[in-house]
Amino acid sequence: MAGRVRFASGRWCCTRGVITFAVGHGVSLTELVERHLRGDWGDLSAADKRENEASIRLGLRILSAYVVRGTKLYVITEADRSTTTVLLADEY
């Protein structure tokens, strides 16, 4: 993984919907999680990006959003850093 990991990810999980989407569109979910862990928050507002920066320092939940092939995907790391989940926005 190029770049510095900024926080622990815990176990990686994916929903069935996002797996189906990724396989059908040739999308690497690993690359999305790696971007998230490096602090590339994707398609978030400036305010949400600032909130993520604070969440790293304060040990709160971290959320990234990426639009891939016209579909929004979320990557969410829980506050306790036990799990990072990738899911479609409509599964949120």
Residue 72 has pLDDT above 70, yes or no: yes
CA 7 to each of CA 11, 44, 70: distance values in angstroms, whole numbers, following the listed order:
13, 18, 28
pTM assigned to the model: 0.95
Contact predicate 34/9, CB 8 Å: no
The C-alpha angle 41, 36, 66, rounded to 5 degrees, equals 55
Q: At 33, which amino acid appears?
A: V
The full set of domain ranges for the chain reads: 11-91
Residue 2 has pLDDT above 80, yes or no: no
pLDDT per residue as tens digits for the range 24-71:
999 999 999 999 999 999 999 999 999 999 999 999 999 999 999 999
